Amino acid sequence: MKNIKIENLCKEIKGISILNNINMELESGKIYGFRGVNGSGKTMLMKAICGLIRTNSGNVYIDGEKVGKDIEFPKSVGVLIENPGLIGSYSGFENLRMLADIKNKTSDEEIKDMLRKLGLDPEDKKKVKKYSLGMKQKVGIAEAFIDTPELLMLDEPFNALDDKTVEILKGMIKEYRREDRIIILTSHDAGMLEDLCDKIYYLEEGKLVKEE
C-alpha cells in the first residue's frame, strides 16, 4: 500500500453532520494521529477509510482504487475500532486462530508469539468473556496485527493497558512504520501521539481544523 487519498468526505446521520468535507492524504512509512474530543468524528473517519460505513458524499481512494466501488474494503487492513470484536465463548488463541484462518497466512506459533509478546498465555483455555478489560484489549490488538496488514488502524489502543504493555505496543507500532506501512492512531493522550506520529490531524465537530 502506497497511499490513501480522502476527497471532500461528508457523513450525516439524521441530519447531523458527523464528517464535514474532510480532505487528506496519507503515505506509507508514516504514522498519523487523529485528535479531538469524543464525537469529533475520529472514529467515524476511521470507519469510512476501511469501508465499514458509506458516506453521503466524497471519496476514499486506496492506491487509486475507490472504496465502495472498485473495492469494498482495503485489501490488507488490521483494525481495532472502539471495542475488540471477540467471541466470548472462545479463548484468546481460538479467536486469533479463527481470524487467521480467513487468509491462512499466519501459523499457530506466530499467533502464540504475538500473545506472549503482549503478556498473554497462549495455552490459557479460559474463555475471553472471563478476561479482564486489559486482557481483552490485548487480544484485540493482536487481532489488528494478524497477517501483518499494510494498513493498521488503532482507535485508542492504549486503553486499559498496563505500563509495560504500553511500551511494548509503542515499539510494535514504530517497527511497523519502518516496514513502510500506513498506521492511523487515535488517543486522548496528546503526549503519546506526539511521541509516535509523523503528522497529527485535529478534528472538531466533524471538521478538520488543524494539522501539524
Closest to 112 (Cα-Cα) out of 136, 133, 96: 96
Q: How many other CB atoms are there within 10 angstroms of residue 81's CB atom? A: 20
pLDDT of res. 16: 93
Q: What is the pLDDT of residues 108-130, one digit of tens each?
A: 999 999 999 999 999 999 999 99
Q: Is 21 left (phi over 0), alpha (psi -120 to 50) or beta?
A: left
CATH number of 1-76+151-212: 3.40.50.300
Backbone angles phi, psi at 211, to 5 degrees: -140, 145
Per-residue pLDDT of the chain (212 residues; tens, 9 = 90+): 899 999 999 999 999 999 999 999 999 999 999 999 999 999 999 999 999 999 999 999 999 999 999 999 999 999 999 889 899 999 999 999 999 999 999 999 999 999 999 999 999 999 999 999 999 999 999 999 999 999 999 999 999 999 999 999 999 999 988 888 999 999 989 999 999 999 999 999 999 999 99
Q: Are 153 and 46 in contact (CB under 8 A)?
A: yes
Q: Residue 94: enclosing H or E segment and its boundaries?
A: helix 92-100
pLDDT of res. 197: 97
Within 8 A by CB and 6+ apart from 124, the residues are 91, 92, 93
Does pTM top 0.75 for this prediction?
yes
In angstroms and rounded to an integer, the radius of gyration of the C-alpha atoms of the chain is 17
Backbone angles phi, psi at 151, to 5 degrees: -120, 120
Rounded Cα distance, 211 and 8, in Å:
16
Query: What residue ranges do the domains of the chain occupy?
Result: 1-76+151-212, 88-148
